[in-house]
Amino acid sequence: MRLNLRFSFQQQPDNQLCLRMPRMGFGRRFLRGLLMLSGFLTASSGAWGFEAGWNQAWIEGRYGSQWVKGFDSREFARVMDVAADSGAKRVRFWLFEGHQSDALVWRSSAVLDEVVALHPDFLPNLRRVVDLARARGLKLNLTLFDGNIAHFPAPNWARKNFWWNFLNDIAGTREAMRERVLVPLLDFLATEDPAGVVDQLDLMNEINAVTLRRHELRIESGWTGANAWICDWASRVRGHAASARVKWTASVGWGDAAEMILANQPWPSCVDFFDLHVYGDGGDIPRAAELVAHARAHGKFIQLGEFGQAWWFESDTLQAVLTRNFLRSAEAAGFRGAMPWRLMGEANGEKFLYIKGGRVRPAWYEFQKFAQAR
């Protein structure tokens, strides 16, 4: 039987092409179904398939100081060697975490703290890290700020007034940070990372943490203010040359993260993809199919940007089982990728570490088995 089919293509969001076909009989409908399924898999998992990656966030013992005072390219290389050996495609690092990140140059007075620039060593050191990732075939997710500073213990609230002004857009603080921090970072990515090693930017880790009224350090107007911030900075990203290679989001965590995303928090028009964080002991992703459908309806993808155990006590068995289950669940549901929390560090009591004090835990091999098969 000869099929004489005429095809046309229509440009869709996220630069995808949608194949359109004329009215057809059974044979053509069957072929169209196969093409639609292929398109679904491509849109959900990306041109390179499902991306299993790692959260490292910061070099152990150097939270807030890994980019300048505590910078050691050998430590970054060690992390990325381990990630590459596991079959990972991506590593996530944080940039300006905490209250007093030394990647920023501060000016203080009796009444005001302000950020005046990026530290002069920050971008050269970031370039070294980008080069290390490129040499190992890894992509990078860079996360600018951490929403969980909102519930740091009170003694750690250094520069609290600055962060309050920043979160609530008081006295031009947020605009100043956009021009002094975000724009130089984008300039760097546009000129110093032509291969697009850094292809994801997360405005704030678990941004919903700073929308909660129970936190003393918060965005007063909740999600209204958070979305205004996301959209303002997104407009700067999208108007920049770096946007050709970098996608933008604000990740969502805590127990109601799935519900937040489905309620359009963050606003879909102001992010390029959705980033969900889930902690649980079964490896199930709440409302996974709905989340994928929601992302696709807006021309986006969704990834499981963090996952880990919820149980208080460290367990090799539990970690291995939930790692296998989360990775399988994310891939089966149509997520673009998944990244467990957290790759490696010292034996400091953190139950999440996959390599702890030099000991490789069984869950790392579960990750490797999954990742290397793809």
The predicted structure's pLDDT at residue 19: 31
Which strand (E) or helix (H) includes residue 277? strand 274-279
What pLDDT tens digit does each residue of the chain (374 aa) get? 333 333 333 333 333 333 333 344 544 444 334 433 443 444 444 445 899 999 999 998 898 899 999 999 999 999 999 999 999 999 999 999 877 789 999 998 777 889 999 999 999 999 999 999 999 999 999 999 999 987 776 555 668 889 999 999 999 999 999 999 999 999 999 999 999 999 999 999 999 999 998 888 899 999 999 999 999 999 999 999 999 999 999 999 999 999 999 999 999 999 999 999 999 999 999 999 999 999 999 999 999 999 999 999 999 999 999 999 999 999 999 999 999 999 999 866 689 999 998 999 999 999 999 999 99
**Could you tell me which residues are beta bridge partners of residue 359?**
356
Q: What's the CA gap between 318 and 315, in Å, rounded?
A: 5
The predicted structure's pLDDT at residue 45: 44
**What number of other Cβ atoms are within 10 A of residue 323's Cβ?**
26
Q: What's the CA gap between 308 and 299, in Å, rounded?
A: 28
> Taking each helix axis from N to C terminus, what angle separates 183-192 and 122-135, rounded to the nearest 10 degrees?
40
For residues 271 and 238, the answer to whether their CB atoms sit within 8 Å is no
The predicted structure's pLDDT at residue 13: 37
The predicted structure's pLDDT at residue 20: 35
For residue 154, give the DSSP letter. G
Q: What's the CA gap between 275 and 287, in Å, rounded?
A: 14
Does the reported pTM lie above 0.85?
yes
Q: What's the CA gap between 374 and 50, in Å, rounded?
A: 7
The single-letter code of the amino acid at 172 is: G
CA quadruple 241, 245, 248, 251: dihedral, nearest 10: -150
Ramachandran region, residue 169 (left: φ > 0; alpha: ψ -120 to 50; beta: rest): left
CATH architecture of 49-372: Alpha-Beta Barrel (3.20)
Least Cα distance to 301 among 274, 276, 267 occurs for 274
Residue the block writes with tokens 């603080």: 173
Ranges of each domain in the chain? 1-45, 49-372
The predicted structure's pLDDT at residue 153: 63
The predicted structure's pLDDT at residue 150: 79
According to DSSP, the β-strands at 359-360 and 355-356 are: antiparallel
Q: Which positions ≥6 away from 347 have C-beta within 8 Å? A: 356, 357, 359
